[in-house]
A = this chain, B = another copy of it.
């Protein structure tokens, strides 16, 4: 997280549609033991999924967190969803880390980006 504060991240770019996007919105529960290690491991692991395009993360302190994963197609997203280590993390998320969450899986129809010169 220190790196994020030193150098603001760049938003993941707009890819050529169609592509897929998984939006995970969550409020954390009290017990966060082990969360950071698992989150770092998942961020690493997803990069090995063929068709993974990128990930955006934002966390309001004490509030809502939003993670957006971008994938080339529905198969890439399914592969990530069904990854064995990821499934263990999902179960632990429900059992321990999250107070509530919603997952929205969607096909991107259009996109664009802006960057100040």
Chain A residues within CB distance 8 Å of chain B: 4-5, 8-14, 21, 23, 25-29, 56-66, 68, 70, 94, 98-116
Contacts and interface: CB of A to CB of B under 8 A. Distances in A.
Contact of A12 (B9, B21, B25, B70): B25
Nearest to A110: B105
B56 A106 contact: no
A66 B112 CA distance: 15
12 contacts: A10-B100, A11-B26, A12-B25, A14-B104, A21-B106, A25-B56, A58-B59, A58-B63, A60-B60, A102-B112, A106-B107, A106-B108
Given A100-B114, A109-B107, A61 B64 contact: no
